[in-house]
């Protein structure tokens, strides 16, 4: 394995949780998730020369992964919705009913709203979110409030 | 609704089924996905066979004795088909552009629009060349004219639907972009 490849893989390995979360958020079946994972790895490796270390690797990775997931977004078919119930993601963390309800509500969000919400849940600062998404900090705030309001309405 | 609790559950799901390093390495070495690989294989085989056909035609069917315009037409038809294949192949391997999600979506929508236009033009071009080549030296009876007209309509319809499907993808990107910006 070449040094550059080894360095890239070490970094991806440290932050691969981001890729798994995006796969779960944007794709319903195991096959679709695996496909998206491969796509994201391909795009990350292709874009890696442009990573100059100015931002955190995880932020850069989030940006490329989200762009891949959304730019290649496909409307889920009826079959994939059905499979969602048959193929739950293997969870190592105990989640409550309320959290499960929140997760289901998140699945109803649009691809852009999902991106904003996942960055928020991963504790990214508004400035970082704005940089990843390419919009102003104030717009991030506005959008996040709208999404929270929407989730609240759905859950109540 | 307890978003803070959900936040911590979300962050802990990081360790959910991580892939071992050797699997990540295997994925990295995979140049294309299986489905894309099949598509690429088909395009390559088609292009090689067409080139082979062109060479064979010239030698085995006395291409040097045929009018130059006829040879040119055949060359254009085969060249156009191969060019169309190469253009599709290039599209598969293009990486993401843009410094952020908004730019990526913008570039992607432009790329879809451009791909649609070029693919449709190439498709019409090389099919017209094939059609012209096939109809040279054929007596233009009423039946032949109807057949050629029908073929022309089919070519134009295929080009129209090819372009439309790319434009639809571009529109989907623009809808995402609009949502992001507003």
> Mutate which of B95, B97, B115, B174 to disrupt the A interface (most A C-beta within 10 Å)?
B95
Residue-level pLDDT, tens digit, chain B, 182 residues: 677 777 777 777 655 578 888 888 888 887 556 666 777 788 888 888 888 887 777 777 666 777 788 788 778 878 887 888 888 777 777 778 888 899 999 998 998 899 889 889 888 888 888 888 777 777 888 888 898 899 999 999 999 999 999 899 899 999 999 999 98
Is B14 in contact with A21 (Cβ distance < 8 A)? yes
| Chain B residues touching A61 at Cβ < 8 A | none
Chain A contact set for B176 (CB, 8 A)? 70, 73, 110-112
Return the residue of B nearest to A95 by Cα. Answer: B9
CA distance to partner chain A, nearest, from residue B57 (Å):
41
The span from the CA of B134 to the CA of A27, in Å, is: 47
Main-chain phi, psi angles of B138, to 5 degrees: -105, 135
Place of tokens 């309001």: A149
> Which tokens in the block code for residue B96?
């993401």
Residue A87 touches partner B, C-beta closer than 8 Å: no
Q: Determine the Cα–Cα distance for residues B35 and B33; give it in Å rounded to an integer.
A: 6
| First and final C-alpha spacing in chain A | 53
Which of B15, B28, B181 shows the shortest C-beta gap to A5? B28
Q: Which two tokens stand for residue B54?
A: 């062109």
A88 contacts in B (CB within 8 Å)? none
Spell out which residues of chain A touch residue B4, defining contact as CB-CB under 8 Å: none
Size of interface A-B (CB pairs under 8 A): 138
pLDDT in tens, A17-41: 999 999 989 998 888 888 899 889 9
Beta strand residue intervals within chain A, DSSP E: none
Please state the ipTM of this predicted complex.
0.82
**Buried b / exposed e across B133-164, counting CB within 10 Å, b at 16+?**
beeeeeeeeeeeeeebeebeeebeeebeebbe
CB A92 within 8 A of CB B15: yes
* Contact residues of B toward A, CB < 8 A: 1-3, 5-7, 9-19, 21, 24-25, 27-28, 30, 32-33, 95-96, 98-105, 108, 172-173, 176, 179-181
pLDDT tops 50 at residue A81: no
Pick from A71, A92, A111: CB nearest B104: A71
- Nearest residue on chain B to A147, judged by CA atoms? B3
Instruction: In whole angstroms, give the CA distance from residue A92 to residue B173.
Output: 35
Query: How high is the mean pLDDT of chain B?
Result: 83
Residue A83 above 50 pLDDT? no
Rounded distance, CA B127 to CA A125, Å? 54
How does DSSP assign B1-33, residue by residue? --HHHHHHHHHHGGGSSPPPHHHHHHHHH--S-
| CB B18, CB A17: distance < 8 Å | yes
Q: What is the pTM of this model?
A: 0.79
CA of B8: which chain A residue's CA is closest?
Answer: A121
A151 contacts B101? CB cut-off 8 A: no
Q: Do A47 and B96 touch (CB under 8 A)?
A: yes
In A, which residues are within 8 Å of B15 by CB distance? 17, 92
CB-nearest to A71 from B5, B6, B108 is B108
């Amino acid at each position: 394995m070449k040094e550059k490849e080894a360095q890239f893989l070490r970094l991806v390995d440290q932050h691969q949780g981001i890729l798994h979360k995006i796969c779960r958020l944007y794709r319903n079946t195991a096959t679709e998730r695996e496909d998206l994972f491969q796509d994201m790895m391909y795009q990350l490796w292709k874009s890696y020369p442009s990573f100059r270390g100015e931002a955190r690797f995880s932020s850069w990775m989030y940006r490329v992964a989200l762009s891949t997931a959304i730019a290649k977004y496909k409307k889920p078919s009826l079959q994939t919705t059905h499979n969602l119930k048959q193929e739950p993601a293997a969870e190592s963390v105990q989640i409550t009913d309320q959290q499960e309800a929140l997760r289901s509500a998140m699945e109803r969000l649009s691809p852009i709203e999902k991106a904003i919400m996942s960055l928020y849940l991963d504790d990214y600062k508004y400035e970082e979110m704005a940089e990843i998404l390419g919009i102003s900090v104030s717009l991030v705030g506005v959008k996040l409030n709208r999404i929270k309001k929407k989730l609240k309405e759905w859950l109540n | 609704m307890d978003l803070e609790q959900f936040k911590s559950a979300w962050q802990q799901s990081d360790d959910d089924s991580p892939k071992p390093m050797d699997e990540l390495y295997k994925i990295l070495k995979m140049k294309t996905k299986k489905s894309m690989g099949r598509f690429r294989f088909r395009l390559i085989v088609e292009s090689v066979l067409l080139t082979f056909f062109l060479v064979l035609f010239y030698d085995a069917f006395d291409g040097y004795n045929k009018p130059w315009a006829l040879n040119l037409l055949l060359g254009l038809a085969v060249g156009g088909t191969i060019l169309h294949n190469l253009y599709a192949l290039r599209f598969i391997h293009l990486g993401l552009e843009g410094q952020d999600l908004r730019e990526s979506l913008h570039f992607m929508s432009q790329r879809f629009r451009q791909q649609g236009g070029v693919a449709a033009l190439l498709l019409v071009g090389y099919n017209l060349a094939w059609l012209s080549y096939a109809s040279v030296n054929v007596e233009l009876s009423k039946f032949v004219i109807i057949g050629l007209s029908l073929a022309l309509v089919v070519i134009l319809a295929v080009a129209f639907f090819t372009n439309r499907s790319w434009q639809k993808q571009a529109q989907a990107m623009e809808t995402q972009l609009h949502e992001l910006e507003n």
